[in-house]
Amino acid sequence: LVATPLPASAPAGATRGYLRDVRVAAHPGYDRVVFEFEDALPGYRVAIAEGPVHEDGSGDEVAVEGATVLEVRFDNAAGARIEGERVVEIYTGPERVRSSGTAVVTEAVDVGDFEGTVTWAVGVRGKAPVRVSTATSPHRLVVDVATAS
């Protein structure tokens, strides 16, 4: 696992990405957090949170389990699609995603879906190398956190 210099980012594309799924899983040597999107991978920024994490919109502080928190922010993104007068929820999963088998990732927490920005916080038990990558078919942002150095 090679550390990605944080912050890792990519500019938002012209097509809005709709968050469909968030997964946390253990793998040999690393824990993985996957953010899956419909239509497109939105712009993103992954960085270590400086201080407490605050909910988008309200500004309320959000508790995240872990000694270090990675803030994952998506621009030109949403968890729901507006179709005329209807709102179609695309992401219907939990606000806190945990995996009992992970070594360093404690949880991924939904911090907001506000004005074209979707934000999640990933709790990590300590400091560890992080690799950020993307994939297609479907569109995904993948955050790998090393479990051993």
Residue 134 in contact with residue 24, Cβ under 8 Å? no
Using DSSP bridges, classify how beta strands 96-97 and 105-114 pair: parallel, antiparallel or unpaired.
antiparallel
Residue 100 pLDDT:
80
Q: What is the pTM of this model?
A: 0.94
Q: 12 to each of 61, 62, 131, how far by Cα in Å?
A: 26, 25, 20
pLDDT (tens, 9 = 90+) of the chain, 149 residues, equals 567 778 899 999 899 999 999 999 999 999 999 999 999 999 999 999 988 999 988 899 999 999 999 999 999 999 999 999 999 999 999 999 998 889 999 999 999 999 999 999 999 999 999 999 999 999 999 999 999 75
